[in-house]
Structure 1
């Protein structure tokens, strides 16, 4: 599947992601290494308010979050999904954790991808595994 199976969109904000080709290759390689087939993956960058609205409407959560992942795949082992990311939340997290915005954005992007690959993050053990996987794949970025 072509790297163009990964698309980037902005919803209610103006945001342009840098290094699209590298990110497509990195995410595609991650999916392949986890023995899944990439069909379609959309990253939608938005505001806190937009993501809060999605959280309320679809998950019945009345809280801000940095990411919401929707798995739209119909076959096991295939990736079809939409990952909504609040750029405001990512910026705040980058400041809080004293990291570069680009690194925090990539962490959130790989986090959502890992959810689509079947990794949960509820509970201490699952969170530990998720963080280890995030760190592992972040280290594999070639840019």
Structure 2
């Protein structure tokens, strides 16, 4: 036999108003679409970090055939820029975030190895670090940008 409880009318009204307010807050908090969330990420620091990473990684690529005294600072700059980019909120798109994380990992590993090699004046280590930036970081950054542009174009 079901248990019946009498609820005074005033309590039912209060519960109903509270329930409606809760639903409104939940719906309001979820009103942004995935495209809008992606646009928010991009415009609140993502675009700037991508641009700066592209510049710094491009510089590492450009100095790859130069001397260690030029390569080391380029790698140190990329390493510092990567650390800043890693502090951004995740990209609100799983596939794009995966490429972004892989790009940052390639930049971090490569730039760290290069900078360490430059500090030791070890040309082979510098070269390996630069190669990592070129083969692991840059292609994944290109994929990240490609996915971002496609998603932002369809918003």
Q: TM-score over 0.5 for the alignment?
A: no
> How does the TM-score come out when normalised to structure 2?
0.24
Higher RCO, 1 or 2 (CA under 8 Å, sep at least 6)?
2
> How does the TM-score come out when normalised to structure 1?
0.26
The structure that is helix-richer by fraction is 2
Query: Which structure has the larger Rg?
Result: 2
The structure that is strand-richer by fraction is 1
